[in-house]
Amino acid sequence: MPENLFKINAKEYILPGTRACQGCGLSLAYRYALKALRENTIVTLPASCLCVLHGIYPSTPVMIPCLNNSFASTAASASGLVAGLQAMNRSDITVMAIAGDGGTFDMGIQALSGAAERGTDFIYVCYDNEGYMNTGTQRSSATPLGALTTTTPIATKQQHKKDFIKIMEAHDIAYLATASPSYPIDLYDKFVKAKKIRGTRYIHLYIPCPPGWAYPPKDTVKMGRLAVETGIAPLFEIENGRFRFTGRSKSMAERGNRLPVINYLEKQGRFRRMNIEQLHQTQRWVDGKWQEYLRRAQE
Ligand SMILES: Cc1ncc(C[n+]2csc(CCOP(=O)(O)OP(=O)(O)O)c2C)c(N)n1
Ligand code: SF4
């Protein structure tokens, strides 16, 4: 298979002309995830922006077999695919279930928890754009404090986002990682690694979304970088309970050069009604999590 300087598979699994928005962070992340997983992969996904990107049957720009399922059943459908493949002795095929934060943090949590508790042999990916974006930016439990959405239109969201990574870690799964489309090599490497591991693997993608977050489409990569550089979306992996920072977050942890959260928040229209108390609360929340991660990285 052809590769480039960074040893990234040069083959494309998404053809030009998807229906995702201009500057969609999900398109970038998905492109690199599929390059890492390659041909012997089956994808299962619920209604979402990704479902729109996949298109309407029988036309699709995606070159990987895919199953569309209902919202609550993404991980359940993956469990069925895994059982079927095992019965056919096809351990060479990877099953990837992938859903948005609405389809994971809220609606898909029950089936995902069940599959993870059973140690189902699959990769589950949550792409977290912090809202129900496909239906016009409704609040989810992943939406951050102080964000405007169409269901929190005046007073902004009053709660911090749910720490879903902690919930997944409590399932004692084989592999857990976070990644960002703004750091494609780090993302690619994590999918390559996840493919080789057996059991339940969970990857959390932090996905900038121009219409949902209200910033210009050209700034998607910048927004993803700021999320990492402020410590809002740190890059790490957890294997056998061992926490390890990766990529940009690793060098930040070593040098102690984290940016204040305001650098990230002020660039997004969704935070235009955030008040000063929410800003301080957000900074304290991020500081607390970062300290916890630093302590774990030193264990
Ligand atoms: C049971 C059910 N409820 C609601 C919908 C309508 N719906 C389709 S996509 C969507 C938003 C999904 O949000 P998320 O999972 O975060 O993915 P994103 O749209 O952000 O990609 C909703 C509410 C549906 N298809 N099925
Ligand atoms: S709404 Fe956001 S996540 Fe959905 S396709 Fe558009 S840019 Fe991508």
* Tokens of residue 91, six digits: 């351990």
Contact (CB, 8 A) for 205 and 187: yes
Beta strands in 61-185 (DSSP E): 66-68, 94-100, 123-128, 175-179
Q: How confident is the model at residue 47 (pLDDT cuts 50, 70, 90)?
A: very high
Residue 180 structural domain:
25-297
Task: Give the pLDDT confidence of 235-285 residue by residue, as tens digits.
Answer: 999 998 999 999 999 999 999 999 999 999 999 999 999 999 999 999 999
Domain contains 15: no
Decide whether any atom of ligand 2 lies within 6 Å of the 137 Cβ.
no
- The residue with tokens 């102080």 is 146
Domain contains 46: yes
Nearest residue (CA) to ligand 2, atom 8 = 24
Nearest residue (CA) to ligand 2, atom 5 = 20
Q: What's the chain's average pLDDT?
A: 97
- The helix or strand, by DSSP H or E, that contains position 53, with its residue range, turns out to be helix 49-54
Domain contains 94: yes
Of the listed ligands, the closest to the CA of 132 is: 1
Name the pTM for this structure.
0.98
Q: Which residues contact 28 (CB under 8 A, 6 or more apart)?
A: 181, 184, 220, 221
Domain contains 221: yes
Please state the domain count of the chain. Answer: 1
Domain contains 11: no
Q: How confident is the model at residue 1 (pLDDT cuts 50, 70, 90)?
A: low
* Tokens of residue 263, six digits: 């650098």
Q: Which atom of ligand 1 is nearest to the CA of 26?
A: 21
Domain contains 138: yes
CATH number of the domain bearing residue 177: 3.40.50.970
Sheet holding 242-245, edge to edge: 66-68, 41-45, 94-100, 123-128, 201-206, 175-179, 236-239, 242-245
Q: Which atom of ligand 1 is nearest to the CA of 140?
A: 16
* Tokens of residue 37, six digits: 């997983």
Domain contains 13: no
**Residue 55 Cα distances to 29, 138, 215, angstroms:** 17, 22, 25
Degrees to nearest 5, angle at CA 286 with 117 and 116: 5
